[in-house]
Amino acid sequence: MSVSRFAIALLAGLLATAVSAQTPAPQPVPAPQPAPAAPAAPMPAAPVPQGKAWILMDHISGQVLAGENFDEALNPASITKVMTSYVVAAEMANGKIKPTDMVRISENAWRSGGAGTDGSYSALAINSQVPLDDVLHGLVIQSGNDAAIALAEHVAGSEAAFVDLMNGYAAKLGMTRSHFANAHGLTAEGHLMSARDIAILGRAMISQFPDHYALYKIKEFTYGGIQQWNRNGLLWKDASVDGLKTGHTDAAGYCLAASAKRGDQRLISVVLGIQTKSKSEGFKAREEGNLALLNWGFRFFETHSVYEAGKQVADQKLWRGEAETVALGVAQPLLVTLPRGRYADLKPSMDVPKQLVAPITKGQQIGTVRLSLDGKVVAERPLVALADVAEGGFFTRMNDDFWLWWESE
């Protein structure tokens, strides 16, 4: 063999070896580690409550477990006040108001939301100065319309300006089927919420402002010598229930949003638009409907943490970098709620670029990880880089550029 032919053969051998060494091996599919689970049981259909719309949502994952018409925008009545109290909690967290602030009970709040109206009220005296914390208790526990208007005026100067805040916060939360016209929930044109949006709001309240949410489980509040009772009858019927809010007008019917926690699992249920002949029938229907949904959800579903935030899910081949690979993970915990006993049936998959080139910044989205059950995606999260990876040196870049060119041919 001549020198030139020998050189060609040697180069070919080196190429083959290098291609084998440089071509990234298929990434292992991240697999959840199954925890011991109860034997799978046949799952009956969810109980269907009375009403125009209803939903059952897992609090941790945000998954909808069951529901009907839950994206239909309906009159929410006093469930509106959950949005009002959310705005108050957010403004307190931002340092704009304080629980010790003195709230003036204006004539407008007294006349539009007080005893002379057809709604619930907190018996706040006209032109009195009341600590914000007391007004807030009246809003959440007694569902006072006067409290809602007084808080709105204190926070934003007027109820109309406060309504703008409500709609702004709702948009940030992704409540796409909601629009507010007042702070109390009495029937008004264009004042609407969907059952899904109410569940989204409840989930945000519980997660972001747990101290504020704790007001919703208080059964009784006395102000000015008047004892006021929480209108959520489920607080007396089930110890795991710790919120949220009732509502009723002739237009809205009887409504109830409820949340319960059993062990590490929390569920949120919403039932809207129950029409009955009597008040007692309405109270009973909304309470029994929500409780049946919660019991069904706790019995037949379980929540698992599949991937922890900041922990490596995969190791991806990297070109032109000072390191040959980059660790990928999720920025937020990936939790999934499934029928009991089905966790081992989850099928994970990844979408990542075929060729990933440095530099890489920590937190940069690289791809997506998905979890499927019976062919349906039940959860997905962005895959992000868990560390910075700078460009490699001159020879590393030159070598990798050659092999990137070689692979592209």
The type of residue at 42 is P
* β partners of residue 226: 223
> Which is the catalytic residue, given 112, 120, 122, 143?
143
Whether 85 sits among the annotated catalytic residues: the reply is no
Helical ranges in 23-79 per DSSP H: none
**Residue 232 near residue 105, CB atoms below 8 Å:** no
φ, ψ for residue 247, nearest 5 deg: -160, 145
**Residue 81 near residue 185, CB atoms below 8 Å:** yes
* β partners of residue 253: 249
Surface-to-core class of residue 127, CB atoms within 10 Å of its CB (0-12 exposed, 13-18 middle, 19+ buried) = exposed
As separate numbers, helices (DSSP H) first and strands (DSSP E) second, the chain gives 11, 16
**Residue 219 near residue 230, CB atoms below 8 Å:** yes
- C-alpha distances out from residue 303 to 190, 241, 263, 273, 389, Å: 37, 18, 11, 30, 35
**Residue 247 near residue 79, CB atoms below 8 Å:** yes
Which SS3 state, helix, strand or coil, does residue 64 take?
A: strand
> Which is the catalytic residue, given 78, 85, 178, 259?
78
Whether 143 sits among the annotated catalytic residues: the reply is yes
Whether 81 sits among the annotated catalytic residues: the reply is yes
Tell me the torsion sign for CA atoms 7, 11, 12, 13: positive
Determine the Cα–Cα distance for residues 45 and 312; give it in Å rounded to an integer.
38
- Active site members: 78, 81, 143
